[in-house]
Chains A and B, each alone.
Chain A
Amino acid sequence: MTVQHNLEPLLVTRGLSRRFGGLRAVDGVDFTLMPGEIRAVIGPNGAGKTTFVGMVCGRIARSDGAVLFDGQDISDLPAHRRARLGIAYTFQITSIYPNLSVYDNVALPVQRTAREPRAIRAAVMAALEKVGLDGRAAMPAGQLAYGHQRLLEVAMGLALKPRLLILDEPTQGLSDAEIEDFIVLVRDIARTATVLLIEHNMPLVMQLADRITVFEAGRILAEGTPEQIRANAAVQAAYLGTEAGAEP
Chain B
Amino acid sequence: MSGEHKPAKAYALHLAVLALLFALNFLLPAYHHGLLARIMVLAVFAMGYNLLFGYAGLLSLGHAMFFAAGMYGAGLSVLHFGFAVPLAFLAGIACGALLALVVGLLALRTSGVAFMIVTMMFAQVFALSLIYFAGFTGGDQGLVIPQPARLFGVGSATIDLTDPAVRYMAALALFAVALLVTLHLVRSRHGRVLVAIRENEERTRMLGYDTFANKLAVTVVSGAISAAAGAAFALLFGYVGANFAGVQYSILPLLWVLLGGAATTLGPLLGTLVIYVITDTASSFTSAWLLIVGIVLILLVLFFPKGVLGTLRARWLGWLP
Q: Are B195 and A95 in contact (CB under 8 A)?
A: no
Nearest-Cβ distance from residue A158 to partner chain B, whole angstroms: 12
Interface size on B, residues (CB 8 A): 19
The interface stretch among B9-17, B42-50, B207-215, B247-255 is B207-215
Interface, chain B (partner A; CB < 8 A): 1-2, 189, 192-193, 195-196, 199-200, 202-211
**Residues of A close to B195: CB separation below 8 A:** 100
Other-chain contact of A95, B202, B208, B210, B211 (Cβ < 8 Å): B202
For residue B2, which residues in chain A have a CB less than 8 angstroms away from its CB? 101
Residues of B within 8 A of A160 (CB): 207-208
Interface check A97, CB cutoff 8 A? yes
A99-B207 contact in complex given A108-B192, A108-B193, A111-B192, C-beta closer than 8 Å: no
The listed residue with most A CB atoms (<10 A of its CB), out of B1, B202, B206, is B206
| Contact residues in B for A96 (Cβ distance below 8 Å) | 200, 203
* Cα distance, A97 to B199, chains bound together (Å): 6
Interface mask (A112-129 → B, CB under 8 Å = 1, otherwise 0): 100100000000000000
- CB pair A97–B203 under 8 Å, yes or no, is yes
Are B203 and A91 within 8 A (Cβ)? yes
* Selected interface stretch from A24-32, A65-73, A78-86, A235-243: A78-86
A115 to B205 Cα, complex, angstroms: 19
28 pairs, CB–CB < 8 Å, chain A vs chain B: A78-B210, A79-B205, A80-B205, A80-B206, A80-B207, A80-B208, A80-B210, A83-B206, A84-B208, A91-B202, A95-B202, A95-B206, A96-B200, A97-B196, A97-B199, A97-B200, A98-B199, A100-B1, A100-B199, A107-B192, A108-B193, A108-B196, A108-B207, A109-B207, A111-B192, A115-B189, A156-B203, A156-B207
Q: Which residues of A contact B207 (CB under 8 A)?
A: 80, 83, 108-109, 112, 156, 160
Measured CA separation A109–B189 after assembly (Å): 11
- Kindly identify which residue among B203, B206, B209 contacts A57, using a CB–CB cutoff of 8 Å: B206
Known: A104-B192, A108-B196. 13 other contacts (CB 8 A): A59-B206, A79-B206, A80-B205, A80-B206, A80-B207, A95-B200, A96-B200, A97-B203, A100-B195, A100-B196, A104-B1, A109-B207, A160-B207
Shortest beta-carbon distance from B253 to chain A in Å: 23
* B interface: dominant SS: helix
Instruction: Give the CA-CA distance A152 to B95 in the complex, in Å.
Output: 44
CB-based contact A112/B208 at 8 Å = yes
8 smallest A-B Cβ distances: which pairs? A83-B208, A97-B199, A109-B207, A95-B203, A84-B208, A80-B210, A80-B208, A89-B206
Q: How far is the CB of B125 from chain A (nearest CB, A)?
A: 30
Q: List the A residue with the shortest CB-CB distance to B199.
A: A97
B residues less than 8 Å from A78 (CB atoms): 210
Q: How far is the CB of A76 from chain B (nearest CB, A)?
A: 15
- Is there an interface contact between B203 and A99, defined as CB atoms closer than 8 Å? no
CA distance A79 to B22 in the complex (A): 49
Give the shortest distance, in Å, between B215 (CB) and chain A (any CB): 13
- Given known A-B contacts A97-B196, A97-B199, A99-B199, A111 and B189 have beta carbons under 8 A apart: yes
Contacts of B206 on A, CB cut-off 8 Å? 57, 59, 79-80, 83, 88-89, 91, 95
- With a CB–CB cut-off of 8 A, which chain A residues contact B200? 95-97
A159 to chain B, nearest CB (A): 8
Chain B minimum-CB-distance residue to A90: B206
A42 to B118, CA, bound (A): 43
Chain A residue at smallest Cβ distance from B200: A97
Expressed in whole angstroms, the minimum distance between the Cβ of B212 and any Cβ of chain A is 9
Of chain B, the residue at the smallest CB distance from A108 is: B196
B contact residues around A99 at 8 Å (CB) = 199
A109–B208 touching, CB < 8 Å: yes
> Which residue of B1, B192, B209, B211 has the most chain A CB atoms within 10 A of its CB atom?
B209
Instruction: Tell me whether B192 and A80 are in contact (CB under 8 A).
Output: no
Complex contacts, B208 vs chain A, CB 8 Å: 80-81, 83-84, 109, 112, 160
The answer for the CA separation of A100 and B204 in the assembled complex, in Å, is: 13
Instruction: Write out the residue numbers on chain B whose beta carbons fall within 8 Å of the beta carbon of A88.
Output: 206
Contact of A80 among B189, B196, B211 (CB under 8 A): B211
